Structure 1
Amino acid sequence: MKKINAAVLGCTGLVGQQFIRLLDDHPYFELSCLTASPRSRGKRCGETTANGGQPALGEKTASLVIRETTAAAVIQSGARVVFSALPAAISGELEMELRKNGLFIFSNASSHRMDALVPLLIPEVNSAHLELARAQLREFPGLIITNSNCSVAGLAMALKPLTAFDVQALTVTTFQAVSGAGQRGVAAWDIMGNVIPHIANEEEKVASETKKILGTLAGKQIKDHGLEIYPSCSRVPVREGHLQSVSVEFAAPVSASEIAAALSGFSAEPQQMALPTAPRRPIIVLDAPDRPQPALDAWAGEPERARGMAVTLGRLRCRGKRCSFFLLVHNTVRGAAGGCLLNAELALKKRLLGGN
């Protein structure tokens, strides 16, 4: 198949860098446009990309010249698919302008996550919500599809196979890596040897986004899932990987063996379609008593292109109607760039991207 030209907005940030890595030599998309702030305009991609131990970029990608982030620059580039790693403060209007001009936007920003016609998508969890994108295409020449908050990307994945057991409520405490705060992160002296028990607006996002993602589609509306969610979010001195302590309450007693089987046996459309960025096993359950750990498990997932896309669970304990476990999600891969890219791969296969 002929590759589709793609743009990355906000290419010099942590999520933008992951987009570039994942799109380099991608089988469906051809990276043709990079944008960033005016201070990066005119630089080549290879000058601004730190590979962080990852394979070096291909020559074609490394030589791409960065443009200033404007709607005109993206439209003039000829890109049809846009991956947005922009801050929410500037993404909202720009993404709508691009949609109005017939582009297909896959956004990591929070600006449109709760919009009525915008799918808040995790392909293994709520692919049926892509019908909202079809509804958008009846009103606009393009579309916007968002991914979730980085913690929600792991939490909702783990909850999906558990909904068969009638989930009633959950309590979740997150231990979130500093990379989740962006390129500059948290000031070193504030986070070194410390835990900060507050992330602005994070707990609200965890509750509202999880309910929308697990909700049911009725016409052009999502009816939120009715489970009660009690989140507490903290920032910890870890580079990458969000660890979460989760306690789930069910309507009836459950056993650890049946919950473990449901989690480890879970797969969905991306696996059945063998999408390039889909991990063969989206949920990996570990038996070791001291796992998952960010340093050991953040990059879980196979094949190579899907590293960082699997959610890892461990320390599963059940008693009566309640089960507790730890889960780990790579915040800038499954929780950001990789999740967005998988959304685009699925949308392409569902024939939502124009003539392909």
Structure 2
Amino acid sequence: MAVQVGILGATGAVGQRFIQLLDDHPTFEIAALTASESSAGKTYREAAKWRVETQIPDDVAEMEVGATTPDDVSDDVDLLFSSLPSSVAEEVEPQFLEEGYVISSNSSNDRMADDVPLTIPEINADHLGLIEVQRDNRGWDGALIKNPNCSTITMVPTLAALDQFGLERVDVTTLQAVSGAGYSGVTSMEIIDNAIPHIGGEEPKMETESRKLLGGFDGSELSMHDSTVNASCNRIPTLDGHLESVFVDLAEEPSPEEAREAMRAFPGVDLPSAPDQLIHVFGDDEPERPQPRLDRSRADGMQISAGGVQSTSSGLKYNCLAHNTIRGAAGASLLNGELLVEEGWI
């Protein structure tokens, strides 16, 4: 029997990715779409200015869009995916949670809350145990789970693979695609023939979310990973795909080939949207890879790519890449939703 799902903020860029990824999904069936009051009552085709490269699924195109309130979403919906702006989500998500809905959210609010799982299924699925803590703390029957920021999720799988060598310090410089700012987030006059060495709020997210994702969970409380993370975030004129240059200090001294093998061997998860191999690693014969245009769509945009692994005086340096609106946003929430089903929370 299909799991009925709804999308909060369905007309935006990430909401459109949700619809693309949920088309013909083996487990989930779209049963509700919400957006702003100005879109409520329209068909999805009328309400959304569709910008994804595939066509709107016919059945979704004719669905009526509701307002983003619990009264506009059927009780039959088992799971909500949230792509709301964080300023809206922090007000709206608790309303749904108090009514008993389970939410897999891409919005940035509450990611660092002590009782909210911030989850990448391949990295820290056990953090879902925080749901019970969350329910006790907040007195609701619903459950809120978050996926990390698009730049964080690009890097953290590679860090998790290298943590066996004693991860102590991370320095990262990002080259982030314009789609990460939304369709109207960066104007052409700002970004063409240019690079912008600042993305508001991005660096603190990478520096804190990474340590939470890699931290431990003892069944009742999270502990942050004890590494230090420093980030410098930059916007460049690529459409999709965040490329990141990472420097790691390690307690041990693995060779570049040992590091590459650790990334290749890092286990994936058996979920419908997960790639068979989490990290694709380029050898030292391809030092120019990964590249956004060539590698962002590996495994339908759900795989992390890494390459250029070299030794430094205190550890390693390498590059990594992920599709920011798929693996870094809608696809990450989708995987978390699949994990919630697999682990029996839905």
Interval of TM-score (by shorter of Structure 1 and Structure 2):
over 0.9
CA distance in 1, matches of 2:120, 2:80: 18
Which residue of structure 1 lines up, in the alignment, with residue 62 of structure 2? 63
Q: Deviations over 1:133-152 (max 9, x none)?
A: 23334542110000001011
* Residue 44 (structure 1) aligned with residue 43 (structure 2): yes
Q: Percent identity?
A: 39
Which residue of structure 2 lines up, in the alignment, with residue 338 of structure 1? 331
The 5-angstrom pairing of residues 298-317 of structure 1 reads 298-301=296-299, 307-317=300-310
Which residue of structure 2 lines up, in the alignment, with residue 115 of structure 1? 113
Q: Deviations over 1:303-354 (max 9, x none)?
A: xxxx11100011111135311111001111111100001001011110011x
Corresponding residue SS for 2:159: helix
The 5-angstrom pairing of residues 1-356 of structure 1 reads 2-47=1-46, 48=48, 50=50, 52-54=52-54, 56-74=55-73, 76=74, 78-138=76-136, 139-268=139-268, 270=269, 273=270, 275-287=271-283, 288-301=286-299, 307-353=300-346
What is the aligned-residue RMSD (CA, Å)?
A: 1.4
CA distance in 2, matches of 1:277, 1:45: 24
TM superposition shift of 1:214: 0.4
Aligned length: 341
TM superposition shift of 1:78: 3.2
**Residue 289 of structure 1 aligns to which amino acid in structure 2?**
P
Corresponding residue SS for 1:18: helix
**Residue 331 of structure 1 aligns to which amino acid in structure 2?**
N
**Residue 39 of structure 1 aligns to which amino acid in structure 2?**
S
Q: Deviations over 1:21-79 (max 9, x none)?
A: 1112211111011111123223322342536332x3432222211112223212x4632
CA distance in 1, matches of 2:212, 2:241: 23
Q: Deviations over 1:158-184 (max 9, x none)?
A: 111111000110110001111111121
Would you say the 8 A contact 2:69–2:96 is kept in 1?
no
Would you say the 8 A contact 1:5–1:31 is kept in 2?
yes
TM superposition score normalised by structure 1: 0.92
**Residue 338 of structure 1 aligns to which amino acid in structure 2?**
G
Corresponding residue SS for 1:174: strand
TM superposition shift of 1:154: 1.2
Corresponding residue SS for 1:38: coil
**Residue 322 of structure 1 aligns to which amino acid in structure 2?**
G
**Residue 282 of structure 1 aligns to which amino acid in structure 2?**
L
TM superposition shift of 1:117: 1.2
CA distance in 2, matches of 1:93, 1:53: 32
Structure 1 stretches lacking a partner, 5+ long: 302-306
**Residue 222 of structure 2 aligns to which amino acid in structure 1?**
I
CA distance in 2, matches of 1:214, 1:252: 18
TM superposition shift of 1:112: 1.3
Which residue of structure 2 lines up, in the alignment, with residue 304 of structure 1? none
